[in-house]
Amino acid sequence: MKKFIVGLVAVSVILMACSNVGSSPKATVQKFYQTLEKQDYKTMGTIATPETIQLVTMFGPKLQGMAASYGKVTSIEEKIDGDTAVVTIKFENGEETSIDLVKIDGKWKISMSMNK
């Protein structure tokens, strides 16, 4: 559960602009941050799995204020293995978290679950 919340916080503090959403895991995570911040669940549906959207809907309001404790993102790295990827995010406070993605119909989507 903590890893899930840390993952959501990680997504919510990425402040980089992105283009070509879905074309890379990094760009997808960056766009996910923007939709999470705006609570734009319609757009989120295009870049996240249904289970991820359910979890964000449940826990999204609890994320208010948590992002500040992690500080700024110091690095973002992606590792792609076929139709799965992991984006690892490191923060100023030393925290590190990984966001899983899956490729569905040629587009990268955030894939979070309560089991992680």
Q: Where are the domains of the chain?
A: 2-110
Query: Is the model more confident about 59 or about 66?
Result: 59
Instruction: Choose between 106 and 55: higher pLDDT.
Output: 106
Q: How far is CA 90 from the centre of its chain?
A: 13
Q: Is the domain covering 2-110 a CATH 3.10.450 domain?
A: yes
Nearest to 46 by CA among 32, 25, 30, 63: 32
- State the average pLDDT over residues 78-107: 93
Q: Give the pLDDT of residue 67.
A: 60
Sign of CA dihedral 90, 8, 79, 44: negative
Q: Which of 99, 113, 95 is nearest to 27 (CA)?
A: 99
pLDDT at 97 over 70: yes
Q: Kindly report the pTM of this predicted structure.
A: 0.74
